Amino acid sequence: MPDRHTVISADCHAGADLLDYRPYLEHRYHEAFDAWAAAYVNPYEDLLADGAERNWNSGLRLAELEADGIVAEVVFPNTVPPFFPSASLVAPAPTREDFVLRWAGLRAHNRWLADFCAAAPGRRAGVAQILLNDIDEAVREVRRTKEAGLTGGVLLPGTPPGSGLPELHSACYDPLWAVCAELGVPVNHHAGSASPPLGDDPAARAVFMVETTWFSHRALWHLILGGAFDRHPDLRLVLTEQGTAWIPGVLDTLDHYYARLVPGDGATGTSEAKFGAGLATSVRRRPSTYWHANCAAGASFMRPHEVPLRHRIGIDKIMWGSDYPHDEGTHPHSREALRLAYAGLPAEETAAMLGGNAARVYGFDLALLAPIAARVGPPVTEIAEPLETVPPGATSPVFVRDAPVRAW
């Protein structure tokens, strides 16, 4: 066991400054981009603040992550891509004409991200963006971004009620699952990507906060009950920044319903069996087995109350993340956050959750990262020491000492 942990953040965010996307657009879109950018008003305060450059300043980013004890990162999007009203995770379904421009914008982001990752070889796994309105185009973009060196996989958009898109259990997405399984591309589903628009009054914003993770969780049972993992055994799903405390209970619930729905698995004569007609042909195992075979959790700023559940979730399924550079992330107090969550655990378990699992899922080379970890990684003895005092000014929910939220 090395003296220092190799910490890989499985949840970080980045993107280009707005005008810097222009060189990454095909030339035919430049005129439209110039007109759009001239009129665009960014709705995100953090992208207008002094710290916004953390999203695209490679040198600053490396320095701050290293100071936090982090040697590598999985890079989700953050800034607004060309032709979107907001970040693509929550953009409403536009017209067909808008989709043409938005596909161009996402391809521009993916090209920029490939260069951004190449600026720190072996230390960034970029997550490519796609849309689900055109599955053939999505498949092409998965292949292109894999060839371009993006190793973080693909960001799966949500299909919220009212979006007009088929639900994720639909077989229409099979070509996407097939190419991801073929190429070993993880399918990432990030929190906030599947909630329906609720409005902007105080109650709507509060309801969004209560419901948003639940809407993101739905991808798990949609893919399981839709048979995606049966048809594509090599498909990998990662659920990121959705917490982990909900996972054991949901798996128990899914197993319960499966036993009641599927004849031959204890369901004969049950009142629910009529709803499970035909399910056994596409879902041949208990749902929890698919979690352990095909899924993982990007456990951003994992909280202390989640840690005792780690064996039920699966030690090999948990990947810690700092959520850099977001306010709710652990920067610049990641070392303290790790102590708060993982102090007193076996060092081997901590090492898996802090870096080993992410290296396996996203293809990081631990041998390449070892010299960096030897220089900046937090000492094993430091993380094993319980945290007594919360750092002043810490904003991450991991430091909240009140009763844990266990919903969903």
- How does pLDDT run across 221-258, given as a tens digit for each residue? 999 999 999 999 999 999 999 999 999 999 999 999 99
Q: What is the mean pLDDT of residues 201-205?
A: 93
Cα separation of 333 and 326, whole Å?
13
Q: State residue 91's pLDDT score.
A: 65
Residue at 189 is within a domain: yes
Residue 370: CB atoms within 10 A of its CB come to: 15
pLDDT interval class at 274 (50, 70, 90): confident
Q: What token pair was written down for 214?
A: 């639940």
Total structural domains within the chain: 1
pLDDT interval class at 59 (50, 70, 90): very high
pLDDT interval class at 43 (50, 70, 90): confident
Q: State residue 235's pLDDT score.
A: 98
Cα separation of 338 and 209, whole Å?
25
Residue at 106 is within a domain: yes
Q: What is the mean pLDDT of residues 346-357?
A: 98
Q: What is the mean pLDDT of residues 145-154?
A: 98
Mean model confidence pLDDT for the chain:
94
**CATH number, domain at 287?**
3.20.20.140
DSSP-assigned letter for residue 3 = S
Note the pTM of the prediction, 2 decimals. 0.95
Q: What is the mean pLDDT of residues 62-89?
A: 93
- How does pLDDT run across 91-119, given as a tens digit for each residue? 666 788 899 999 999 999 999 999 999 99
Alpha-carbon torsion (360, 366, 367, 368), positive or negative: positive
Q: What token pair was written down for 334?
A: 């990641």
Stretch among 15-19, 84-88, 100-104, 349-353 having the lowest mean pLDDT: 84-88
* 44 vs 339 pLDDT, higher one: 339
- Above 90 in pLDDT, residue 332? yes
pLDDT interval class at 378 (50, 70, 90): very high
Residue at 188 is within a domain: yes
Q: State residue 402's pLDDT score.
A: 56
Residue at 404 is within a domain: no
Q: What angle do CA 359, 360, 366 make, to 5 degrees?
A: 40
Its domain, for residue 214, covers 7-399
Residue at 121 is within a domain: yes
Percent of the chain clearing pLDDT 90 (strictly above): 82
Residue at 271 is within a domain: yes
Q: H-type helices in 264-353, by residue range?
A: 287-294, 310-313, 334-342, 347-351
- How does pLDDT run across 170-194, given as a tens digit for each residue? 999 999 999 999 999 999 999 988 9
Q: State residue 403's pLDDT score.
A: 45
- Above 50 in pLDDT, residue 407? no
List Cα–Cα distances, 169 to 166, 177, 220, 297, in angstroms. Answer: 8, 11, 10, 20
Residue 394: CB atoms within 10 A of its CB come to: 17
Q: State residue 45's pLDDT score.
A: 79
